[in-house]
Amino acid sequence: DAKTTQPPSMDCAEGRAANLPCNHSTISGNEYVYWYRQIHSQGPQYIIHGLKNNETNEMASLIITEDRKSSTLILPHATLRDTAVYYCIVRVLRTSGSARQLTFGSGTQLTVLP
């Protein structure tokens, strides 16, 4: 799996959009970008994933640059409950086996301020 680089911490005002960047310059053509978050003392939670097109779901939007070397996770209206560590992970969607583990990097600690 390709390596990712994220800023260690970010702050965001409540109600504003939180934009979390991720660099993955060595990503290969069959690797997807996944985002998970971990609220303090809870298990990680899946947010969104994508290959090359922008993706949106009820939690967030994922913007992937045309060269796929970086991406941005957007939380459109951050709330205090969005305070968490956000992990950007790059990995293939399917392998010959059935188990596809996640390898977590250091992530970004997002703090939403009142």
Residues contributing to the site for other proteins (CB under 8 A): 32, 34, 36, 38, 41-46, 49, 85, 87, 91, 93-94, 97-107
- State residue 81 phi and psi, 5-degree precision: -70, -10
Residue with smaller CB distance to other proteins, 41 or 114 = 41
Rounded least distance, CB 16 to other proteins, Å: 26
Would you state the structure tokens that stand for residue 97, as one six-digit string? 């086996």
12, containing H or E segment: strand 9-13
Please name which of 83, 88, 86 lies closest in space to residue 12, comparing C-alpha atoms.
83
Residue in the block written with tokens 């959009």: 17
Rounded least distance, CB 66 to other proteins, Å: 24
Rounded least distance, CB 47 to other proteins, Å: 10
